[in-house]
Structure 1
Amino acid sequence: MPLNDEVSAAIRPIIEATGNYLEELTITSAGKVKILTVIVDSDSHLNLDQVTVVTKQISEVVENLPALGDSAFTLEVTSPGLDRPLTKPRHWRKNLDRLVKITMNSGQVIEGRIGEATETTVLVGDEKVSFEDVKRAVLEIEFK
């Protein structure tokens, strides 16, 4: 089993037990040190305390993984940034009423507030958008 898959399989249950999701895991090497970057998401916005708790739990499991052996590693646990694309229905539901910029497969650009989101569509302003027609969607940063 590839290392990425083995680590994912080991940490996913821990992350899900806290009510969160394993959004992404990347493993890179910096010399003899492996860097494990874990992106954790939730249905609400994660705070620093929640990320700290998950980090400690992940660290305990990863330290004992036979696949890593005695390799030195750095563990980085974070939540998705504002610039991270919205790719799953839960991303849209989490960000209701936020301003979004969508580039459609057709090249059309739609900007508006996220309204009702189902498993297949989202209402942006007055326009119903099918997820399969979305090429890229990112939140717009608003200053008040």
Structure 2
Amino acid sequence: MAEASLPDNELFIVDVTVSDSAVRPKITVLADGEQGITIDQCATISRRINAKIAETFGDELSYVLEVSSPGVDFPLTQPKQFKRNIGRNLKLKLQDGTEKTGKLEEVTETGLNLTQEIKQKGKKATYEPVQIPFGEIVKANVVISFK
């Protein structure tokens, strides 16, 4: 239902959650686009989803609908999101429990090419290229820098 409510081909759904409240569930739809997403696009998605819910379940259903873009602290989950962040620093948590931090250089069909920052006590950080398959990534976040 959320995918069908997108007003533009460049937009995509990042996440949909529904709270477990039986009285008045909250539906949260996170959408994004290759160039970001505007408030007007979020409003259009919201109106379309509300219309589909009313058509399917009637006007009597009580719920709260929130449509927005994922915040900067929301993990990256889709290749399209990674592509938008090429050139930025990422922090990755991998399946084996390790973490890697580095600059995202390229997104391929199978994973990421990262210039990993290697820190050693008492020495200047060094950088080395590393390839990370999507299947090994548990969580990926953009590192916000205030430099």
Q: One fold, TM greater than 0.5?
A: yes
| Secondary structure, counterpart of 1:143 in structure 2 | coil
TM superposition shift of 1:128: 1.8
1:26 paired with 2:17, answer yes
CA contact (8 A) 1:11 1:61 kept: no
1:103 paired with 2:106, answer no
Partner amino acid for 1:133? E
Partner in structure 1 of residue 27 of structure 2: 36
Q: 2:139 aligns with which of 128, 136, 139?
A: 136
TM superposition shift of 1:136: 1.9
**Greater Rg over alpha carbons, structure:** 2
| Secondary structure, counterpart of 1:93 in structure 2 | helix
TM superposition shift of 1:86: 2.0
TM superposition shift of 1:120: 0.7
Deviations 1:76-125, CA, capped at 9 Å, x for gaps: 11111222222222221121111101122233322111111012121111
Give the root-mean-square deviation of aligned CA atoms: 2.1
Unaligned stretches of 5+ residues in structure 2: 116-128
Q: How does 1:1-144 map to 2 (within 5 A)?
A: 10-15=1-6, 17-19=7-9, 20-28=11-19, 30=21, 32-66=23-57, 70-125=60-115, 126-144=129-147
| Secondary structure, counterpart of 1:112 in structure 2 | strand
In 2 relative to 1, CA 103–35 (structure 1 residues): closer, same or farther, beyond 3 Å? closer
TM-score (norm 2): 0.76
CA contact (8 A) 2:14 2:78 kept: no
Identity of aligned residues (%): 24
The count of residues paired between Structure 1 and Structure 2 equals: 133
TM superposition shift of 1:29: 5.0
TM-score (norm 1): 0.78
Unaligned stretches of 5+ residues in structure 1: 1-9
CA distance in 2 between partners of 1:94 and 1:85 (Å): 13
Q: Which moved more, 1:53-62 or 1:114-123?
A: 53-62
Partner amino acid for 2:35? S
CA distance in 2 between partners of 1:86 and 1:101 (Å): 10
